[in-house]
A and B are shown apart, each in its own frame.
Chain A
């Protein structure tokens, strides 16, 4: 490297000062003026994280939030050059350091994860659609799903309730999240385990819904009666009206 060790050390000391505030002495350099960079770097990091997690910020004690953010700033080397992706690193940092247990906030990790997922899915790159037709039979034709989707599992129903209420409803929740094809806004649909199984099966196999339901019965040794069968078909009709089912292959 053409940079001398001395210049490298100076640059690194300045950068570390901006993060840690650890006083440095540099000849011909105004530390008082340098403090503006420390303030600006801190403001940028704090604003970026806070704006990504408004629900968490509103539901956590200010002192604890400040500790989490400061711990992150002081101890984490920010890796992404894309600043809107930085909140994901904050979520990872909180998760890996188990602050959830330390501050006895059982919902913390999931809340951060849920808020980050909203950003990630809203911003994710477009996925090229395959050819599909809009008319078809929901039970007997091969369904084509919106590819910009994900199914997640939650312990708290954060997709339906504010955190204070969700924390009282610990359970096992599955949420289908997809980005609308035209408006590009996110939709959240609570689904049951059998819905999850069927959606994932249909995404992986060229199968009709009726065949998938039969397959479910066989694999789980669970008989699905006519009423249940009808309800499942109605649910997929509902997913078509919500435009998660885009059409048919």
Chain B
């Protein structure tokens, strides 16, 4: 199954049904919940035609601040209302010292952070009555790490019981920025816990730094990383993210078709995909 991350830039056209050929749609609940009017009509129309997946922005699971239960109640109502198949979020933090920053800050890879985050994941899963699927985020510097990134992720997944969102572009970006082998990194992950894949474009801004922009087409090495990864995991839905410099529909459809082609090369894994 291949889906698209919904953007307001094309949401109205998409709602008419002929904009892109996809199997599902993903959007951030924060952009669409507690609203009415024009955009509510658009999102309702889309939800009547496609399965909905949600990818949150403001949960801030790695934050030192308290969880925001009022916010979570709104998320829960929204997920229930649209019968959302998967609710994913980011393994990062976006709030501290009682202030939202609206960006995904890297968590120190430390044991106490593992314990803190795992407990919060359990609380959130219990409250929402659904599994949380957490994305391994791109990051530009480790922060006073006491363990490797893969060890950190493995410990959190094992302790909390959450699922993983494998963003292959993020893995590629991180491997470039921190000079490691992306295939080896993926092998080190608890691959049986991968429930969802994201893929996107990025921008190399210097000899040693890539920024995860979601504003460019997917590059060939990222497609290759996806191809290398798929045979190692159970069939999961794959989402194309394009948040900036959004091209016309044909260009997006070409990327979606290419993803379909790649998944078709692992037919034994993908032919029974049901979500």
Contact = CB atoms under 8 A, between A and B. Distances in A.
Given A1-B116, A2-B115, A77-B99, A14 B36 contact: no
B206 to A, nearest CB: 10
Q: Which of A3, A4, A40, A123 has the most CB of B within 10 A?
A: A3
B42 to A, nearest CB: 10
Max chain A Cβ within 10 angstroms of own Cβ: one of B35, B57, B71: B35
B37 A179 contact: yes
Contacts of A12: 64, 96-97
B93 interface: yes
Nearest to B71: A81
Contacts of A122: 37-38
A33 B209 CA distance: 9
B136 interface: no
A2 B112 contact: yes
Contacts of A34: 140-141
A37 interface: yes
A48 B105 CA distance: 19
A28 interface: yes
A78 B68 CA distance: 14
B141 A16 contact: no
Interface in B196-224: 209, 211
A8 interface: yes
A44 B36 contact: no
Contacts of A67: none
Interface in A19-54: 19, 26-30, 33-34, 36-37, 40-41, 44-45, 48
B143 A82 contact: no
Interface string A110-129: 00000000000011111100
Contact of B101 (A33, A76, A78, A79): A78
Interface in A75-134: 76-84, 86, 122-127
Contacts of B115: 2-3
Interface residues of A, number: 49
Nearest to B64: A8
Interface in B47-100: 57-58, 62-64, 68, 71, 93, 95-100
B98 A77 contact: yes
Nearest to B58: A81
B93 A11 contact: yes
Given A10-B108, A11-B64, A82-B30, A19 B99 contact: yes
Contact of B119 (A2, A37, A76, A79): A2
B71 A29 contact: no
Contact of A10 (B38, B58, B143): B143
Interface of A: 1-4, 7-8, 10-12, 14-16, 18-19, 26-30, 33-34, 36-37, 40-41, 44-45, 48, 76-84, 86, 122-127, 148, 179, 183-185
Q: Give 3 nearest A-B pairs by CB, closest first.
A: A126-B36, A81-B58, A15-B96
Given A2-B112, A7-B64, 17 more contacts: A4-B110, A7-B108, A7-B116, A15-B93, A18-B103, A29-B141, A30-B140, A44-B101, A78-B102, A82-B58, A83-B58, A123-B37, A125-B35, A183-B38, A184-B37, A184-B38, A185-B38
